[in-house]
Chains A and B, each alone.
Chain A
């Protein structure tokens, strides 16, 4: 690897938030010169990567920088590939019997049977098309969706879903299909990123896709796992953090004041040592989640966080609401999140309209559900504040806020959106101790440190 490429690589990795010290660079250079027979990529990867979650982003950067021949050769034989694909199709008709569909310039997946050769994807999606889409300034997710739609991806996965439900596919093929599906999407995402990076001529697009920064609702399964494991770690840190109050105990630090006080009865002689230690804060936590469609992704993470923090609170109560409230504490306190998820999904039966109505919810809470809440409790509200033009009824929130110690509001929308016309955030804001934007994993991390 020549020096220029190496410097570019280091720069790019630093841009996407890998910390690379000069010692690391020195080490890599030593290794490269000492072991020329080893693969360069392997060496660089071994030395530069200090945490497992960075592997993926390293691969992406590596690909864009060093294995990206397309941008220089946009001309490829489109007709030729189409022909070859057609030939392959003759013996494999698409599952589910969909007809042959074709997007503009690309190749449809439904015509290709179940086996996909990934070396062909390069040809499946023309780079010029990617460039065209990105230069229009579309968001990353939108570009990916457009490309997938053009490939008939959605019809393709639908036919498989149906076949699996009907029991035509065995579980093994189904798993295999799931893998293909995931790697296909990943491939497309990589290509879109590549196009965006070369379009903007900066690493910004890649930085935006970092799992800590990107919106919680667009995370892939793998990234979800990452976020969850980080949440578990943050929660662990908190679980052992002591509170501010002291309590007598048979071990801990020596409690001088107590010893002196006792010694008075024996004329100042010390007979007995007293110890004290800090006790963890254990107050009550009330969580209130909006589970209307737009919010479901965020609820999942908040609930996960709450279950991880269980040990720290004396009592946790969780309410879900859309336009009425229901208590789901018992589901949430189960270790398994699947039941909580089901509860979110089945919420459809419980609501009348499916549009959130904060006013009614706060009224119901204030009047019925929160009668016995302790004055030391914390209320955590997760919602976008969009009230669909219904009355805000903020007086009820004020009532609740007066009862509990703190009210925190987590809002997944950007700050600018809080001032839109149907958004009641500005009215509710005054009654909250603090309002947070809670859009990405890094937001969540800040909240964990601040609130709990």
Chain B
């Protein structure tokens, strides 16, 4: 890839539509070989972007889903204790030094996603998903990996990667990261797509929709996003909503006939009630105009 435009094009071939600014930033992150931190509200396609990028670059995807309590032994490496015990029982040699060295060699190392991405012979894309869910201490483990693409295991030493992995971190912004982590990453903020982009996303993701319905749905969703709701509808919910209308054999969006389908779009009862109230108002407004 030689330019952001190129990147946009190949991502589009994989079915991911990226806006210009994000494309430039992502392109620079790839060019600088730096990790890329993608932030934004839930459901705007942060993980999808990483998946599409892996397909485009033909890299093997290694995914680490973060959660509270995730620690070094689950993310980076662990010693295979059972195997070590077997080794001890089988060993006939009296030479302690030799056993000691053997026991802590790569053979007895269980590699978890992070180590796996470092050790891998083929090019990989490491996706660290929802980093904000992890504990703060975990962030510090990552620093060495993010800056130098290497990990240090006390018993063995430093292992650095042969093929520099592309690292993508995603976050829902429920917790702030330390400056140390942010400094090492290139930062992309994804937000809800513009109307035109959402329409084209909808038509690529759900090609069975008529143009009319796709346009109507996107306009409606854009309108809903302006309301003060607890959780705004995301892109994936827009797609679900459009599919729901399609399966109800609707060719266009009628404010009056939406009750009951709204639960596809919004996930909180309070939000639905709020929107239903608004719908009545919009309906009468639309009727007046006609």
User: Is A233 within 8 A of B4, CB to CB?
Assistant: no
Name the A residues within 8 Å of B25 (CB-CB).
42, 46
User: Is A51 within 8 A of B182, CB to CB?
Assistant: yes
User: Is A171 within 8 A of B183, CB to CB?
Assistant: no
Which of A43, A232, A236 is in CB contact (< 8 Å) with B28?
Answer: A43
Interchain CA distance A204-B186 in the complex, whole Å: 28
For B184, give the chain A residue with the smallest CB separation. Answer: A23
User: Is A175 within 8 A of B226, CB to CB?
Assistant: yes
Name the B residues within 8 Å of A171 (CB-CB).
281-282, 285
User: Is B186 within 8 A of A236, CB to CB?
Assistant: no
User: Is A50 within 8 A of B176, CB to CB?
Assistant: no
Q: B127 near A: Cβ within 8 Å?
A: no
Name the B residues within 8 Å of A55 (CB-CB).
189
Which of B25, B34, B185, B281 has the most chain A CB atoms inside 10 A of its CB? B25
Interchain CA distance A356-B282 in the complex, whole Å: 43
User: Is B31 within 8 A of A31, CB to CB?
Assistant: yes
Q: A135 near B: Cβ within 8 Å?
A: no
Which of B176, B186, B228 is in CB contact (< 8 Å) with A46?
Answer: B186
Name the A residues within 8 Å of B230 (CB-CB).
335
Name the A residues within 8 Å of B282 (CB-CB).
171
For B32, give the chain A residue with the smallest CB separation. Answer: A27
Q: A229 near B: Cβ within 8 Å?
A: yes
Interchain CA distance A236-B135 in the complex, whole Å: 12
CB-CB contacts below 8 Å: B236-255 with A: none
Which of B31, B174, B176 is in CB contact (< 8 Å) with A34?
Answer: B31
Name the A residues within 8 Å of B281 (CB-CB).
171
Contact with B along A9-24 (1 / 0, CB 8 A): 0000000000101011
A105 to chain B, nearest CB (A): 36
User: Is B174 within 8 A of A233, CB to CB?
Assistant: yes
Q: B179 near A: Cβ within 8 Å?
A: yes
CB-CB contacts below 8 Å: B244-280 with A: 270
Interface size on B, residues (CB 8 A): 30
Contacts A38-B24, A46-B28, A175-B226; A19 near B183 (Cβ below 8 A): yes
Q: B13 near A: Cβ within 8 Å?
A: no
Name the B residues within 8 Å of A37 (CB-CB).
3
CB-CB contacts below 8 Å: A37-77 with B: 37-38, 42-43, 46-47, 49-52, 55
Contact with B along A166-179 (1 / 0, CB 8 A): 00001100010000
CB-CB contacts below 8 Å: A221-267 with B: 229-230, 232-233, 236-237
Name the B residues within 8 Å of A52 (CB-CB).
39, 173, 187, 189
Q: B83 near A: Cβ within 8 Å?
A: no
Q: B197 near A: Cβ within 8 Å?
A: no
User: Is B21 within 8 A of A49, CB to CB?
Assistant: no
Name the B residues within 8 Å of A50 (CB-CB).
179, 182-183, 185, 187
Interchain CA distance A34-B281 in the complex, whole Å: 55
Interchain CA distance A49-B174 in the complex, whole Å: 19
User: Is B32 within 8 A of A31, CB to CB?
Assistant: yes
B221 to chain A, nearest CB (A): 15
For A236, give the chain B residue with the smallest CB separation. Answer: B175
Interchain CA distance A27-B182 in the complex, whole Å: 15
Which of A21, A46, A236 is in CB contact (< 8 Å) with B183?
Answer: A21
Which of B39, B173, B228 has the most chain A CB atoms inside 10 A of its CB? B173
Interchain CA distance A70-B203 in the complex, whole Å: 46
User: Is B179 within 8 A of A19, CB to CB?
Assistant: yes
B162 to chain A, nearest CB (A): 23
Contacts A27-B32, A31-B32, A52-B39; A233 near B175 (Cβ below 8 A): yes
Contact with A along B136-180 (1 / 0, CB 8 A): 000000000000000000000000000000000000011110010
User: Is B28 within 8 A of A230, CB to CB?
Assistant: no
Q: A90 near B: Cβ within 8 Å?
A: no
Q: A30 near B: Cβ within 8 Å?
A: yes
User: Is B28 within 8 A of A31, CB to CB?
Assistant: yes
For B228, give the chain A residue with the smallest CB separation. Answer: A338
A54 to chain B, nearest CB (A): 9
User: Is A233 within 8 A of B32, CB to CB?
Assistant: no
Interchain CA distance A35-B2 in the complex, whole Å: 9
B151 to chain A, nearest CB (A): 20
B56 to chain A, nearest CB (A): 19
Q: A417 near B: Cβ within 8 Å?
A: no
Name the A residues within 8 Å of B28 (CB-CB).
31, 35, 43, 46-47
Closest 10 CB pairs of A and B: A50-B182, A46-B25, A52-B189, A42-B24, A233-B176, A46-B28, A50-B187, A27-B32, A170-B285, A233-B175
A-to-B contact residues, CB < 8 Å: 19, 21, 23-24, 27, 30-31, 34-35, 37-38, 42-43, 46-47, 49-52, 55, 170-171, 175, 229-230, 232-233, 236-237, 335-336, 338
Between A and B, 10 residue pairs with Cβ closer than 8 Å are A23-B183, A31-B28, A37-B3, A46-B25, A47-B28, A49-B187, A50-B182, A55-B189, A170-B289, A171-B282
B-to-A contact residues, CB < 8 Å: 3-4, 21, 24-25, 28-29, 31-32, 34, 39, 173-176, 179, 182-183, 185-187, 189, 226, 228, 230, 270, 281-282, 285, 289
Given contacts A31-B31, A50-B187, 7 further A-B contacts (CB under 8 A): A27-B34, A38-B24, A46-B25, A46-B186, A55-B189, A233-B176, A336-B270
